A and B are shown apart, each in its own frame.
Chain A
């Protein structure tokens, strides 16, 4: 195979500068890495690095602050939207976003996320939905599908005993304070590109002061789903998308001309 002279070639893509050049602790094939990359690309493209403050939550992404090249704080489990509120209210010129998993945001953090959205806090929430508690080894989460086996629902989620999953995007979109809410997926190239546009739209919402913005990213968890990374993307497409339909759930009228 002929090797090409790189100096004579156009650069099509390289990793974003806002991502620290460091090996991450995420499992092979985990789409946390894709989500991190998209956020970093958007922050690079919008020139926001020197104004950004991220709020890491508790879950697999607890060490997110090691991977981004800008200011970051660490919040207790579920409290990131409250911490982000405190920061944004005192430093409104900064771009403040949280990065939360499904257990963090929709189980212990339900109070904080609902009220941040209701207040129309000008923060952006990157919400990773992989239908389980990843960091602690794959327990049932509020987003676990009916019948889905996890370490704390070994016979499959029984809706009689454990109730039904929560659709966070639909729920939060009912709040007037929400400016932009979208659900996207990271399971294939087409959807990853759409997700990046949604993330960009969410940060635009914050920049323009149009209220609370959130992008829910359906994500894979190969390790706890006991699937290979590629099989996990197929499982997501077949099983999660029917329950969590993709699309825009809330768009502030002022954003309409830039709709994804």
Chain B
């Protein structure tokens, strides 16, 4: 099962360049068309399930506007319920 992650985009910095949208391997980022930042942009944000916290969006972001989080990794044996 893929790891779950999420991102937080700083709306004061995002310029809606869409590089993160193109770069995201699971295509879960989109511009939030119902939000406008103080600078007049539609900021990028997670639009659907599937973020794995890979961080590739943060690598391409020219504004360093993206903070990336990922759920703590569980060991395979713990997941299966076996002895650690």
Q: Is the CB of B59 within 8 A of A229?
A: no
Among A11, A24, A40, A189, which residue has its beta carbon within 8 angstroms of that of B63?
A: A24
Question: With A29-B19, A193-B59, A228-B18 as given contacts, are A12 and B69 in contact (CB-CB < 8 Å)?
Answer: yes
Please measure, in the bound complex, the distance between the C-alpha atom of A32 and the C-alpha atom of B62, giving whole angstroms. Answer: 7
Question: With A9-B6, A188-B60, A189-B23 as given contacts, are A28 and B67 in contact (CB-CB < 8 Å)?
Answer: no
Among the interface residues B60, B62, B65, which one has the most CB atoms of the partner chain A within 10 A? B62
Q: Is the CB of A9 within 8 A of B48?
A: no
In the bound complex, residues from chain A placing their C-beta under 8 Å from that of B47 are 1
Instruction: Tell me the nearest residue of chain A to B28, going by C-beta.
Output: A1
Please measure, in the bound complex, the distance between the C-alpha atom of A179 and the C-alpha atom of B56, giving whole angstroms. Answer: 31
Minimum CB–CB distance from B3 to chain A (whole Å) comes to 10
Among B46, B49, B62, which residue has its beta carbon within 8 angstroms of that of A29?
A: B62
In the bound complex, residues from chain A placing their C-beta under 8 Å from that of B41 are 28
Q: Is the CB of A16 within 8 A of B64?
A: yes
Interface residues of B toward A: which range? 35 or more
How many of chain A's residues have a CB under 8 angstroms from any CB in B? 38
Q: Is the CB of B62 within 8 A of A31?
A: yes
Please measure, in the bound complex, the distance between the C-alpha atom of A222 and the C-alpha atom of B56, giving whole angstroms. Answer: 21
Please measure, in the bound complex, the distance between the C-alpha atom of A33 and the C-alpha atom of B67, giving whole angstroms. Answer: 16
Question: With A23-B13, A229-B19 as given contacts, are A189 and B59 in contact (CB-CB < 8 Å)?
Answer: yes
User: Is B66 interfacial (CB 8 A cutoff)?
Assistant: yes
User: Is A57 interfacial (CB 8 A cutoff)?
Assistant: no
Question: With A23-B39, A28-B41, A33-B63 as given contacts, are A230 and B72 in contact (CB-CB < 8 Å)?
Answer: no
Instruction: Tell me the nearest residue of chain A to B6, going by C-beta.
Output: A4
In the bound complex, residues from chain A placing their C-beta under 8 Å from that of B13 are 23
Please measure, in the bound complex, the distance between the C-alpha atom of A16 and the C-alpha atom of B61, giving whole angstroms. Answer: 13
In the bound complex, residues from chain B placing their C-beta under 8 Å from that of A12 are 5, 53, 55, 58, 68-70
Please measure, in the bound complex, the distance between the C-alpha atom of A15 and the C-alpha atom of B39, giving whole angstroms. Answer: 20
Minimum CB–CB distance from A217 to chain B (whole Å) comes to 12
Instruction: Tell me the nearest residue of chain A to B38, going by C-beta.
Output: A23
Minimum CB–CB distance from B20 to chain A (whole Å) comes to 10
Please measure, in the bound complex, the distance between the C-alpha atom of A3 and the C-alpha atom of B68, giving whole angstroms. Answer: 14
In the bound complex, residues from chain B placing their C-beta under 8 Å from that of A15 are 10, 64-65, 67
